[in-house]
Amino acid sequence: MQTAVVTGASSGIGKEISLRLLKLGYRVVGVSRSITNKDFNSKNFSCFQADLSDEKATGRICEVLKNEDASILINSAGFGRFEPHEELSTKVIKEMTFLNLTAPMLLTNALLRSLRKNDGYLININSIEAIKTSKFAGVYSATKAGLKAFGDSLFEESRKSGLSVTNINPDMTQSNFYDELRFTTSDKEDEKLLASDIADAIEHILSMRKGAVVSEYTIRSLRFGICKK
């Protein structure tokens, strides 16, 4: 049974992906701050609690994960704050940068040898903000564009191995991502994405012939919608 490591697995997109991978027959190792085995009713699920916005905690979990014979790493954990740049605190800027960009690079560093050995998959859950610009999103967009650049470079670096690297760029997706923001997704079905749409993309990527790689996967709602709180 192949092992998939999923960050941000306790909620939102990360949880939906983890549930889908379990359904597809993978063993899933979930990583998040508050995750427990009770979040998933499966003997093939295990978890590690770690705050991936914290450098020391991330370093510790990287050392633990080096012992995993992983075939898939899905970097899904992340958060965003959308304010005029001068209104962002230094703490928020540092934590957003670390969680969205530095932690995925460190986790990839820890697992890359096993991913390559197993002809595996590295999948970064990015954002539409990785390929477009929006006001009040400077730091968030920079972290996501940086993660995309990292994935693109690693794809070129790894082409002599059997590792597939994909950046997924979802538009606004209904999840707890917006709990602490001043806006959220639209109530209309054609003006938002669902976490299951992202899980569908994961399933598609894993089902493709191994000789073909979707290096970038952008998913958008049919129409644009947003709700202010």
pTM for the model stands at 0.96
Mean pLDDT, the chain, integer: 96
pLDDT single digits (tens) 61-72: 999 999 999 999
pLDDT at 90: 97
pLDDT at 38: 83
Three-class SS of the chain: CCEEEEECCCCHHHHHHHHHHHHCCCEEEEEECCCCHHHCCCCCEEEEECCCCCHHHHHHHHHHHCCCCEEEEEECCCCCCCCCHHHCCHHHHHHHHHHHHHHHHHHHHHHHHHHHHCCCEEEEECCHHHCCCCCCCHHHHHHHHHHHHHHHHHHHHCCCCCCEEEEEEECCEECHHHCCCCEEECCCHHHCEEHHHHHHHHHHHHHCCCCCCCCEEEECCCCCCEEEC
pLDDT at 9: 97
pLDDT single digits (tens) 122-151: 999 999 999 998 999 999 999 999 999 999
Furthest C-alpha separation in the chain: 49
pLDDT single digits (tens) 94-108: 999 999 999 999 999
Question: Which domains does the chain possess?
Answer: 3-228 (3.40.50.720)
Report the distance separating Cα 187 and Cα 193, nearest Å.
11
Q: Is-contact 150 156, C-beta < 8 A?
A: no
pLDDT at 37: 84
pLDDT single digits (tens) 158-213: 999 999 999 999 999 999 999 989 999 999 999 999 999 999 999 999 999 999 99
